[in-house]
Chain A
Amino acid sequence: MTVSYENSKAVFQGIKAAGITSVSALPETWLGLLLHHAEEDPDITLIQVAKEEEAIGIAAGAYFAGERHLLLMQNHGFLAAINGVVSLAQLYGIPLCMLIALRGHWGEPYPWHTRGGIVTEGVLRALGIPFEYARDPATVGRQIREAYTFSQSSLSPVALLLTRDLMED
């Protein structure tokens, strides 16, 4: 199993087409190629964080600054960021457009990913965070654009889950 070069590119093109100019991220395998694209793009400010909860604060600062910001993280990182999501983004009505690598789900060979993968959807539901699965490179661009739009109109966190179908070859 390898990370899909073509589909990573499709995701990045979707990010660009959505007019995103600022990205916060904590690197992980599925997001690696995407981050390289972001790093090389002169029109995107990439901020790598030490822990995902930090990115919630940075996303709030970017939103206050009027910047079109997007968060990239793994689902375990999302779990680590929950207090920020709840007590900053949801409490203050700050939009978050989160692209979350959904590890530990259908087809997962590694046991250490499975617990997080199994609970991610339930946690999102419990938090009232709207989410979609991204499986098809042909539609992921539209999904990113729509996720961003929805986060802005609802002033709340929105998650697009990047699946194995999309991210691996």
Chain B
Amino acid sequence: MKRAECIGMLYPELDDKLVVTIMGACAQELYDLGHKENFFYLQHAMGLASSIGLGLAMHLPQERIVVLDGDGSVLMNLGTLATMARYRPRNLVHIIFDNGSLLSTGGFDSHTSSGLTDLAAIAKGAGIEHVSAVDSVMGFGDAAIDAFIGASHGAPARAALIASLPETISARVRQRCLDGGVIPLQGQREAMEALALAGAVGVAWRSNPRVSLQIAPGGTRAEAVAYTLSEHEGKAALKEFGVAIPRGDLASPGSAAERAAALGFPVVLKAVGAHLEHKTEVGGVALNIRNAAEAEAAARRLSALSDSLLVEQMTSDGVAEILVGLIVDPQFGQVLVLGAGGVLTELLSDSVTLLPPWTRESVQAALRGLKVGKLLEGHRGKRAGDVEALVDTVLNVTRYASANLATLIELDVNPVIVRPKGCGAVAVDVMIRLTNPA
């Protein structure tokens, strides 16, 4: 192993470090690679490069110090190893090139040339925590990584090794880092992106430490035995938890018009059945029916889809339509989704997800963050919506979800029609998927 090769290998890493070298070939080889203002070449004063490095390291804890030393110099100041061990500066790397020779003064053998004197053993014996003895350039690189891993232990932060290009970090080095608890990041740009994301995750965890996940104790549900409540059953289930639904009832196609008249026009007619989850797309909904003739015509058309129809009062004074959903994430359990509802759901990417606990404040804040939230506040002179009633609806839906933690797979109230302030909010369509408890 050539000293010059090692110094050449180190050189690109030295830009942001304070470097102290001993005199002679070591200084010359560093100088030949290109002098930098953070390099100090100690002429004479044999043995003191390490002490200068220690003095720098202890008084500049935010800087990193590299000392390039030789066997002859270290033998003149062996006490420095014990002093370094005592104060353990984590920002100091002391590199000793042991050529077994006093080269600059005529090439006389030093004490280490016989192989009897082992500087690494002396350093270990002095109490220096991380000592590596290497005899190849590859080993030198590995030792540098190990020194970094060692320095990262007990440090107040996570350590990462960032390769400037994704492909320049070998599988061997990567594994070495992972084994040592250091994160290998491949590529500067990729590393910055990863760090930014990790930072965002950290901020998120710190900002809401009160998260208490709602996860069914049985774990993953059996999708195979899942079933969907009919819209009418779903609405009835939510009504028990205080969710307002439109006045109305089931009727046969033949009696639908009569039932509509009893409710008072305008009404809505819907085909009901488990196979009709997307009834709007198959023409299973007739809106804004204003008289008995229209009701009869609609009932006749819908009878092709189902022999059971839902007749409901039409809510026609809505200010905004909001989606209230619950999904079950395998990792996070029940997650509340709020967003723009009705036909806008799939047009606008306007939704937000919330982890439990769900509170009045967290729901209000989430609604304010939606684009459609502007409609609720009274957009361009329009009337403001009954936000309090909407928040009540959302919280009532979450109470239903909590009560059915073991069986609920998916819940979609789309939309909740928010009426003007003081007039309430109505869940006009409900889809609930359940399974048997695990």
Chain A residues within CB distance 8 Å of chain B: 22, 45, 47-51, 53-67, 69, 83-84, 87-88, 91
With the chains together, A64 CA to B51 CA distance in Å? 12
Residues in chain A near residue B82, CB distance under 8 A: 50
Residues in chain A near residue B276, CB distance under 8 A: none
Residues in chain A near residue B51, CB distance under 8 A: 49, 53-58, 60-61
Cβ proximity bits B46-59 to A, threshold 8 Å, 1 near / 0 not: 11111111111111
Q: How many residues of B contact A (CB 8 A)?
A: 27
Closest beta carbon of chain A to B300's beta carbon, Å: 91
- The answer to whether B79 touches A51, judged by C-beta atoms less than 8 angstroms apart, is yes
Task: Judge whether B80 is part of the interface by a CB distance below 8 angstroms.
Answer: yes
- Most chain A CB within 10 A, of B42, B56, B59, B80, is at B59
Question: Are A58 and B55 also in contact (CB < 8 A) when A50-B82, A50-B83 are?
Answer: yes
Residues in chain B near residue A47, CB distance under 8 A: 54-55, 58, 83, 87
Residues in chain A near residue B55, CB distance under 8 A: 47, 57-65, 69
Residues in chain B near residue A48, CB distance under 8 A: 83, 86
Cβ proximity bits B259-293 to A, threshold 8 Å, 1 near / 0 not: 00000000000000000000000000000000000
**Interface SS majority for chain B:** helix
- The answer to whether B79 touches A88, judged by C-beta atoms less than 8 angstroms apart, is no
- The answer to whether B83 touches A64, judged by C-beta atoms less than 8 angstroms apart, is no
Task: Judge whether B60 is part of the interface by a CB distance below 8 angstroms.
Answer: yes
- The answer to whether A87 touches B83, judged by C-beta atoms less than 8 angstroms apart, is no
- Most chain A CB within 10 A, of B44, B55, B57, is at B55
Residues in chain B near residue A53, CB distance under 8 A: 47-48, 51, 77
Closest beta carbon of chain B to A66's beta carbon, Å: 8
With the chains together, A87 CA to B55 CA distance in Å? 17
- The answer to whether B47 touches A45, judged by C-beta atoms less than 8 angstroms apart, is no
Cβ proximity bits B321-337 to A, threshold 8 Å, 1 near / 0 not: 00000000000000000
Given contacts A22-B59, A91-B43, could you give 9 more A-B pairs where the C-beta distance is less than 8 Å?
A: A47-B58, A50-B82, A53-B77, A57-B50, A58-B51, A60-B55, A65-B56, A83-B46, A88-B52
- Most chain A CB within 10 A, of B52, B60, B77, B86, is at B52
Give which listed residue, B44, B45, B59, contacts A65 with CB less than 8 A.
Answer: B59
Closest beta carbon of chain B to A58's beta carbon, Å: 4
Closest beta carbon of chain B to A83's beta carbon, Å: 7
- The answer to whether A54 touches B59, judged by C-beta atoms less than 8 angstroms apart, is no
With the chains together, A134 CA to B46 CA distance in Å? 32
- The answer to whether B49 touches A57, judged by C-beta atoms less than 8 angstroms apart, is yes
- The answer to whether A64 touches B52, judged by C-beta atoms less than 8 angstroms apart, is yes
With the chains together, A56 CA to B77 CA distance in Å? 12
With the chains together, A88 CA to B79 CA distance in Å? 18
Residues in chain A near residue B43, CB distance under 8 A: 91
With the chains together, A148 CA to B59 CA distance in Å? 18
Residues in chain A near residue B54, CB distance under 8 A: 47, 57-58, 61
Question: Are A50 and B48 also in contact (CB < 8 A) when A61-B55, A64-B56, A91-B43 are?
Answer: no
